[in-house]
Amino acid sequence: MTATRKKAAKHASPDLSHETICTAALELIDEEGLEAFSTRKLGRRLGCEAMAIYWYYPSKDVLLDAVVEKLMVGVGVAIADKASDDWISTLRDLAHAYRRVAHEHPKAFPLLATRRFASEGTFAFLDQLFALAREQGIDDKLTAKFYRVVSSYCSGFALNELAAPRGPQDLRTAALRKRFPRVESVSEWLEPKYLDEIFTFGLELQLAALERATRTEPAS
Amino acid sequence: MTATRKKAAKHASPDLSHETICTAALELIDEEGLEAFSTRKLGRRLGCEAMAIYWYYPSKDVLLDAVVEKLMVGVGVAIADKASDDWISTLRDLAHAYRRVAHEHPKAFPLLATRRFASEGTFAFLDQLFALAREQGIDDKLTAKFYRVVSSYCSGFALNELAAPRGPQDLRTAALRKRFPRVESVSEWLEPKYLDEIFTFGLELQLAALERATRTEPAS
DNA sequence: ACCTGAACACCGTTCAAGT
DNA sequence: ACCTGAACACCGTTCAAGT
């Protein structure tokens, strides 16, 4: 009785699992940012000692891999709804869904761009994508090439969008912009309202090239 | 006498300055990685208390901005040697020089891709680049668009290259690749030896589009 | 099987004090 | 002006111990 009361007083029932820990981790990152995220704070949020987490995940690093997986599985689900069997339009949907993650989880997104895919779910995701390419008669080399080019572009673009006002630094950059008017005048065209258009422009450039490449070298 | 001896015993003479601190910081990051980098280790390397650094830089964050600046100024110098007045070929040289930083400073590079430019030197760098575009009669909007597209691509590509064997994880991914043969067979085309070609392919795609755009909308 | 608690070896940063 | 040293409020992780 007193035991259960104590637990309740500790913010939440422990009720730990890979799922609850990983979900809480993403929430904490969303709220406080990657720098501020710690296993100790996560413990507090889950109502347990930080060390309890280590029974489920061997290290913070592996936990972060799980968060990456969670986000990428979300992307996979998002494009599965469309369910096109055209690889080019799948890649297009994927690119937009990936960028949407950056907008929905701005503080967690750098994980995706920075860490190697290293989990079951992320590999399953890639497997699905590459399987579709092969069904379309696109060979592995072309698949690899365009996957790398498109995914690099998307990662970099989203990261650029998010390399954001880190607090009072904004004042510093504002002062610098005044002193470098050419940077100022070009930067005006990089305001958020223009970014959808620019992103799509660059993406379509690549997809058009893919289309040309698949026509030149058709299904074997 | 005993005082100087003590100092000498502490690895190096303090001899602090913005330059020495920033240079040592980059060296330390190159050697030990971003995660392991700390102001306390930096102090040890410089032969001073960690807190001495705070007289020159108000925070670790600002020091890292200075490291970013140092690297970007290096990129600026590298392309200044070429000294072409054609914006497209300058952008090409820039892209390759930027990626070279990723190879020369693999552990520091994520800073460049992750942090907003926020210092004198980085702004001067952009100013120079944008000035050249204007001299060529390329308007601010087109400059902004292609700068963003190309720089995003380069950041993302280099980051992908570097999202690297984080120690024993390599075993985990090796096991996963076995279980997902389609990922395996596509990944073979993403080995380091192919990456120069893929990078150049994607880059030239974008530069060709820029060339078309400047012909359509010539100098005013 | 699952979780706690103390302990270890670290962090960034503040601030009073020294020279 | 430049640097030290103690202190504060944190970290990730190990490990013996509890239930």
CA of B38 to C1' of D7 (A): 19
Of A18-27, A28-37, B82-91, the range with the lowest mean pLDDT is B82-91
Locate B79 and state its tokens.
């392309």
* pLDDT for the residue A10: 36
Nearest by CB: B144 against A110, A130, A189? A189
* pLDDT for the residue A203: 98
CA distance A52 to chain B (A): 22
Mutate to test the interface with A, among B91, B115, B180 (most CBs of A within 10 A): B180
* pLDDT for the residue B161: 95
CA of A74 to C1' of D2 (A): 53
* pLDDT for the residue A170: 73
* pLDDT for the residue B41: 98
Q: Does B196 touch chain A (CB under 8 A)?
A: no
Query: What average pLDDT does the segment A29-43 reach?
Result: 97
The yes-or-no verdict on residue A151 having pLDDT over 90 is yes
Walking along chain B (220 residues) 10 residues at a time, the average pLDDT comes out as 32 76 98 97 96 98 97 92 88 98 98 94 95 95 98 98 71 87 96 97 98 77
CA of B56 to C1' of C15 (A): 17
**How many C-alpha atoms does B1 have within 13 Å on its Cβ side?**
0
Can you tell me the distance from the alpha carbon of B116 to that of A104, in angstroms, rounded to the nearest whole number? 20
- Nearest CA among A85, A110, A102, A130 for reference residue A35: A110
Q: Considering only CA atoms, name the residue closest to the C1' of nucleotide D14.
A: A51
CA distance A160 to chain B (A): 7
Amino acid in the structure at residue B94: L
* Chain-chain contact of A113 with B113 (C-beta, under 8 angstroms): yes
What does pLDDT average to over chain A?
90
CA distance A81 to chain B (A): 22
* Chain-chain contact of B116 with A173 (C-beta, under 8 angstroms): yes
* pLDDT for the residue A82: 79
Q: Does A119 touch chain B (CB under 8 A)?
A: yes
B198 or A78: which carries more pLDDT confidence?
A: B198
Instruction: Give me the residues near strand D, CB below 7 A.
Output: A 37-41, 50-51, 54, 58-61; B 14-16, 43, 48-49, 51-52, 55-56
Going along chain B from its start, the domains and CATH numbers come out as 1-58 (1.10.10), 74-216 (1.10.357.10)
CA of B135 to C1' of D19 (A): 76
Largest Cα span, chain A: 74
Residues 6 or more apart whose Cβ sits within 8 Å of residue A212: none
- Nearest CA among A153, A155, A156, A159 for reference residue A207: A153
Nucleotide nearest to B53 (CA to C1'): D3
Query: Percent of chain A having pLDDT more than 90?
Result: 79
The yes-or-no verdict on residue A137 having pLDDT over 70 is yes
* pLDDT for the residue A167: 59
* pLDDT for the residue A83: 74
Query: What average pLDDT does the segment A128-150 reach?
Result: 96
> In chain A, which among 129-148 make CB contacts under 8 A with chain B?
130-131, 133-134, 140-141, 143-145, 147-148
**Exposed (0-12), middle (13-18) or buried (19+): which is A109, by Cβ within 10 Å?**
buried
Can you tell me the distance from the alpha carbon of A108 to that of B219, in angstroms, rounded to the nearest whole number? 43
Q: Does A183 touch chain B (CB under 8 A)?
A: yes
H or E element in which residue A50 lies: none
pTM of the model as a whole: 0.92
Can you tell me the distance from the alpha carbon of B199 to that of B144, in angstroms, rounded to the nearest whole number? 21
Measured between CA atoms, the residue of chain B closest to residue A165 is B116
* pLDDT for the residue A3: 32
Nucleotide nearest to A3 (CA to C1'): D19
C-alpha angle B156/B149/A26, rounded to 5°?
Answer: 45
Can you tell me the distance from the alpha carbon of B24 to that of B57, in angstroms, rounded to the nearest whole number? 14
B6 or A191: which carries more pLDDT confidence?
A: A191
